[in-house]
Structure 1
């Protein structure tokens, strides 16, 4: 994720502390622990050959990587759909490759031909086709996320709201806004959050070094999707994960139903290490039993399997 990226020497001067919860979160959450709480942890892609010999067998075929990925993670941020709508054949193939993990979820990103053009409502037919195609993931379909670029300003809010009202209500949707004014203008921010709450659409929290305004800590539904941009195991990555674990624990104990947590970093080779750290901390702090990715030649932690 290039959004909000900074040079390594700049990291020491950034305040990575998570802001306090938006006060309206207490309205979204009921204040009671949800016994059916779910958390989905994943990466932005599965087809990384660098993970052969790390979390994939050394001799793994490229066509098998999704299967090995789904043995280590329970979710994928499906960025491939931003470029192209997959064929039904591809979708059925992917479902077959993850069938060993019945809890696995694909979270597709809305195709850019809808979100990165001059008019969202004019692309309704394409949006509908995209959504109908994604339905073929069946029980493996998680949330669909809609990402707007940094130039999509609140001056286009009527266009945005008009489009979002057309979304079906039987699939979870999350919106990622990036233009700074969505966060800096309190009235606009409140209007956006109220609209999303009224229409049961989640808002994405993007934790990236160079855009701390995007770590807004607002909930519009009792679910959230977090996109965490690490910095290749810089010391700050671990401190930030610790903070997130504490916040997730608080949310879990106050009524959050479901969380998606996707980790990005420039050196993708190191992604498994940070996800293992996250999962171990969640299991320890939150009393969860999330299966951790298994590094090749690691001794399995039997309590987690």
Structure 2
């Protein structure tokens, strides 16, 4: 089974009704896609009130891929608002449990930064993450190529499989050590594919300009590239039961259209979506 979605639901104008408000966007989104990446949890662990609201606004079968808080993945380095690591993980566990209790949690996405290389220290930290979040399905995403070097790739996959982590397959610019290749391997009955675009310039110049986030994920996949992705995803589907695909190339609002094109290429129909409500006067004539 393959499910397709986007990172976040608040910035995809092509899928909203013309009369939608900001409060309608999640409902509108869930009429098109069965999954979404909750990326706001990377910047701040959401309140129980917000989680309850999101759960209630989505169909019964809708799932969230909840991104791990940046303090848990080392992005904050020493600038962490939580007094202790234990306190931080406990706050995030409460967040994840709220989604899981509502049967809305697809997985937790733990995305490590580019400087998180394949080293004994970092292997031990991944084991610590497992200890802290072991009650939840966890996907690991690397942004450092050393995890997939010729002499370590097999051990990386074996390690993830041994600990029961979901492997995150990435399509991204091939821009040196701070990027990873597309490795179509599954380590559990689920696999996660995150599609970041192929903007090599934006990837290499990350953080060098004020609007680097906009440049980094500015990319529109053409049909040939999406056909190639579709073929790779069909191969990956044979290795596990569920493949979750998330498009993250949305700086130019390309993610939704690229996702819809891939959906057509894979001949997918998603059941249990929110109803598509007609705009005012639509269908009247």
Q: What's the TM-score, normalizing by structure 1?
A: 0.72
* 1:239 correspondence with 2:240: no
1:60 aligns with 2:20: yes
Give the structure 2 partner of residue 192 of structure 1.
156
- Mapped to 2, the partners of 1:200 and 1:162 lie a distance apart of 11
Paired with 1:71 and 1:266, the residues of 2 have a C-alpha distance of 19
8 A contact 1:223–1:258 mirrored in 2: yes
1:228 to partner: Cα distance: 0.8
SS at match of 2:186: coil
Q: 2:261 aligns with which of 248, 255, 277?
A: 277
Query: Contact 2:45–2:91 at 8 Å: present in 1 too?
Result: no
Judged with a 3 Å threshold, the aligned counterparts in structure 2 of structure 1 residues 157 and 43 are, in CA distance, closer, same or farther, namely same
Partner residue in 2 for 1:4: none
For residue 132 of structure 1, the aligned residue among 94, 98, 102 is 94
* RMSD of aligned residue pairs (Cα, Å): 2.7
Structure 2 residue aligned with 1:249, among 234, 240, 255?
234
- How big is the shift at 1:279? 0.8
Q: Evaluate the alpha carbon distance shift between residue 219 and residue 93 of structure 1 in structure 2; reply closer, same or farther with a 3 A threshold.
A: same
Structure 1 pair 104–181 and aligned structure 2 pair: CA distance change class (3 A): same
Shift of the alpha carbon at 1:118?
5.1
Q: Which residue of 2 aligns with 1:45?
A: 8
Distance 1:79 1:259 in 2: 19
In 2 relative to 1, CA 214–128 (structure 1 residues): closer, same or farther, beyond 3 Å? farther
Runs (5+) with no aligned partner, structure 2: 79-83, 199-217, 280-285
DSSP-derived class of the 1:127 partner: helix
Aligned to 1:162: 127
CA-CA distance at 1:237 after TM superposition: 3.4
| CA–CA distance in structure 1, aligned partners of residues 107 and 37 of structure 2 | 9
> Which residue of the partner structure matches residue 111 of structure 1?
69
Higher RCO by CA contacts (8 Å cutoff, separation 6 or greater): 1
Q: How far apart, CA to CA, are the structure 1 residues paired with 2:149 and 2:54? A: 41
Instruction: Please tell me whether residue 209 in structure 1 is matched to residue 173 in structure 2.
Output: yes
Cα distance in 1, alignment partners of residues 262 and 31 from structure 2: 17
TM, length-normalised to structure 2: 0.77
CA distance in structure 1 between the aligned counterparts of 2:77 and 2:150, rounded to whole angstroms: 23
1:101-136 per-residue CA deviation (whole Å, 9 max, x = no partner) reads 2221111111001111559xx724422320222211
Provide structure 1 residue ranges, at least 5 long, that are not aligned to the other structure: 1-37, 298-305
CA distance 1:161–1:263, change in 2 (3 Å): closer
| Aligned residue runs from structure 1 range 85-104, under 5 A | 85-98=45-58, 101-104=59-62
Give secondary structure in 2 for the equivalent of 1:273.
Answer: helix
Q: Does the aligned pair in 2 maintain the 1:178–1:214 contact within 8 Å?
A: no
- Whether 2:254 is the aligned partner of 1:290: answer no
Following superposition, the deviation at residue 245 of structure 1 comes to: 1.9
Query: Residues of 2 paired with 1:203 and 1:76: CA distance?
Result: 18
Q: CA deviation at 1:206?
A: 1.1
